[in-house]
Homo-oligomer: A and B are copies of this chain.
Amino acid sequence: MPVDVPLIERKQREARRRIVAAAEELFAARGFAAVSVSDIAERAEVGRTTFFRHFGDKQEVVFAREQELLDLLAAETLETDGPDDRSASAALRALEPVLLCLCERMTADLDGYRRHVRLVEDHPELGAREGVKMQVVTERLTDLLVAQGWAGGTATFAAEIALACYRTARRTSPDPATLVAATRTAIHHALGLGTR
């Protein structure tokens, strides 16, 4: 049986979807700099007020997918090694499936992800915005660990190391099809750092 979503929420989701699709088409056709919020709203057939109900500015639309994943992240739970192991290594092992799942979802639409990466690389202000999003991811991962009983300092450390693994994968594997595997490899390298 389909979940019963109230009409107003369905309409809002539909408007958001149309805004994202319109922005992508316009960015691809004219380039990011040449597109205004008004252009996007017009093509999506929504008012500017509706645009700003969903997104703070034009840049934010570029990270619509990341934001949805961030919202999902808040509801994640971690599987832990055991009730007693609250070491940094156990924290990193607990984050691994969550981080890989994020990478999988981000690259589920490979062409869309490639367009996104190109857009961010071509515009320094979008690169800066992406850095801020990564900071938010780190904070959410830290919160997940703290909720499972890790000490704040250990949780912060493990979350930063997890993000370092993701960044390594992004920099060393330009092909998004290998992002998940490269992130997994980097995490395993991190977990073996002291042993080599």
Question: Which residues of A are interface residues toward B (Cβ below 8 A)?
Answer: 87-89, 92, 124-125, 127-129, 131-132, 134-135, 138, 152-153, 156-157, 160-161, 163-165, 167-168, 171-172, 186, 189-196
Q: Which residue of B lies closest to A190 (CB)?
A: B193
| Sample (23) of A-B pairs whose CB atoms are under 8 Å apart | A88-B196, A89-B193, A92-B193, A124-B132, A127-B132, A128-B128, A128-B131, A131-B132, A131-B134, A131-B135, A156-B168, A157-B164, A157-B165, A157-B168, A157-B189, A160-B167, A160-B168, A163-B164, A190-B193, A191-B194, A192-B193, A192-B194, A193-B193
CA distance A88 to B129 in the complex (A): 30
Q: Which residue of B lies closest to A173 (CB)?
A: B153
With A160-B164, A160-B171 given, name 13 new contacts (CB 8 A). A87-B196, A89-B193, A127-B135, A128-B131, A131-B131, A157-B165, A157-B168, A161-B190, A191-B193, A191-B194, A193-B193, A194-B194, A194-B195
CB contacts (< 8 Å) of A92 on chain B: these are 193
Q: Which residue of B lies closest to A138 (CB)?
A: B167
| B196 x A195 contact (CB < 8 A) | no
CB contacts (< 8 Å) of A131 on chain B: these are 128, 131-132, 134-135
